[in-house]
Amino acid sequence: MLIKALLVITAYLLGSIPFALIVGKVGYGIDIREHGSGNLGGTNTFRVLGVKAGLTVTIADILKGTLAASLPILFSVDIHPLFTGLFAVIGHTYPIFAQFRGGKAVATSAGVLLFYSPFLFVTMLAFFFLILYLSKYVSLSSMLTGVYAIVYSLIFTDDLPLLVVVTLLTLFIFYRHRANIKRILNKTEPKVKWL
pLDDT of residue 112: 98
Nearest to 94 by CA among 85, 83, 82, 105: 105
pLDDT of residue 154: 97
DSSP code per residue over 32-73 = GGGSTT---SHHHHHHHH-HHHHHHHHHHHHHHHHHHHHHHH
Q: What is the domain partition of the chain in residue ranges? A: 2-185
Alpha-carbon gap, residue 54 to 48, rounded angstroms:
9
pTM of the model: 0.94
Alpha-carbon gap, residue 3 to 46, rounded angstroms:
38
pLDDT in tens, 149-193: 999 999 999 999 999 999 999 999 999 999 999 999 999 999 988
pLDDT in tens, 85-100: 999 999 999 999 999 9
pLDDT at 135 over 90: yes
pLDDT in tens, 64-79: 999 999 999 999 999 9
